Structure 1
Amino acid sequence: MPPSANEPLPGQSKPLSTWRQHSSIPTGAGSAEALPPHQQGTAGGETWVYPSEQMFYDAMRRKGWQPSEDDMAAVVAIHNAVNERAWREILRWEEAHGSAAACGGPRLLKFRGRPQEYSPKARLLNLLGYKLPFDRHDWIVDRCGEEVRYVIDFYNAAPHPDMPVAMHLDVRPALDSFGSLRDRLRMQWGWVASGRWARE
């Protein structure tokens, strides 16, 4: 999003909020400097800041969508909640490495949306009859000075009466190293041993 993205667009039917919510996701060393000012974290670069309703609307219009101004509050709320959930999933993986005690916890250095680049796991599941994810992100996390890439596949889930918009997030470290492979095997074994697979 360019720095001017927090301004109303020509033809917009009503003004939208330019307030931006601070996330709980810590920025990593150098991550703020790598971003334009509107995407930097709090003063001191401590946490990432989510786009405002106006910024989200502007971005969707630039991509060729025709969003409704009336939907933006809900769209931004869902976006922010999903990102917080993704971060909690990453923290579950990171617990095994003790980085919280050793160096203040993992931090998000940067991220990239890759909606048309399906991960090998998503392609394999698709061959087995599952739907492809509607989006994919790669998040680069600073683990005590080591950069670890996480893949997040976003799937539509069955809605419930109390949750009309439901998503399933498949969050895991990318297979960029033996350590990541070991983490994934250990997490998978824990899931099988716990019996959660039989309840899900």
Structure 2
Amino acid sequence: MLEPSQASSKSSDSKNNHIRCPVSSINKNSGDLSPKKLDSFDQNLQGLSNKREISSIPKANGKEGEYWIYPSERMFFQAMRRKNWNPRINEMQFIVPIHNAVNEQVWREILSWEKGWGSEMCGGPKLVEFEGKSSKMSPKARWLKYLGYKPPFDRHDWKIDRCGKEVTYIIDFYSGKKEGDLLSFYLDVRPKLSINGAWMRLIRVFEDFFQKKKDL
């Protein structure tokens, strides 16, 4: 059964309420998006902040204590426009915080999965790179769609560093019910299906089963 985590935020009136990430990928070689590169795309934007928020997500292959940085309103707007998503300047103040909050929730879910798998020995897991794969449905999402569930509106693959070992997590993003001004997102976060990933998933099933029996 699908039991994803939920993240809710205030919505704007945008028809792009699903808040798909306009950044296709960031890797260990390219690092954070360069404000200089994106600002050269249009110097005449008004009302968009250049302020960037530092995430709680540690950066692999970086200096000790270095964290990933989210794009500013201006950078996010320009990335959306490059993909022809018809963004509106006055909506960035809503969309960017939602985008950041959803990514923070994803990281909390990854930290939950990583507990007990050794990353505590080297200061915890760190994000190496992520890749947007909205056009490539995961096997689980395809199966759920076959069973009658709505397909996810976006998919990311996040690669993390676990003390020198790279582990990939798949994140499917589902839209939830809108309640008033609240826009809900359901996140299905799990390790990619591999030998290690299958073992992690199996152990999680047993842990959840015995926890439920304990709570009865």
Q: Which letter maps to 2:162?
A: R
Give the conservation status (yes or no) of the 8 Å contact 1:7–1:54.
Answer: no
1: CA distance between counterparts of 2:132 and 2:197? 21
Name the counterpart of 1:88.
108
Unmatched tracts of structure 2, length 5 or more = 1-32
Q: More relative contact order in 1 or in 2 (CA 8 Å, sep 6+)? A: 2
Aligned residues: 180
Structural mapping, 1:22-171, within 5 Å: 22-29=54-61, 46-100=66-120, 102-161=121-180, 164-171=182-189
Give the TM-score, by structure 1 length: 0.83
1: CA distance between counterparts of 2:89 and 2:154? 23
2: CA distance between counterparts of 1:82 and 1:18? 20
2: CA distance between counterparts of 1:77 and 1:92? 23
RMSD, aligned CA: 2.0
How much has 1:54 moved relative to structure 2?
Answer: 0.1
* Residue 185 of structure 1 pairs with residue 205 of structure 2: no
2: CA distance between counterparts of 1:136 and 1:71? 23
SS in 1 for 2:171: strand
Unmatched tracts of structure 1, length 5 or more = 33-42
Name the counterpart of 2:15.
none
SS in 1 for 2:116: helix
Give the conservation status (yes or no) of the 8 Å contact 2:171–2:187.
Answer: yes
Name the counterpart of 1:5.
38
Describe the shift of the 1:44–1:98 C-alpha distance in structure 2 as closer, same or farther (beyond 3 A). closer
How much has 1:187 moved relative to structure 2?
Answer: 1.1
1:73-127 CA distances to partner (integer Å, 9 max, x unpaired)? 1100000000000000000000021312x11110000000000100000000000
Q: Which letter maps to 1:160?
A: E
Give the percent of matched residue pairs that are identical in Structure 1 and Structure 2. Answer: 47
Q: Which letter maps to 1:142?
A: D
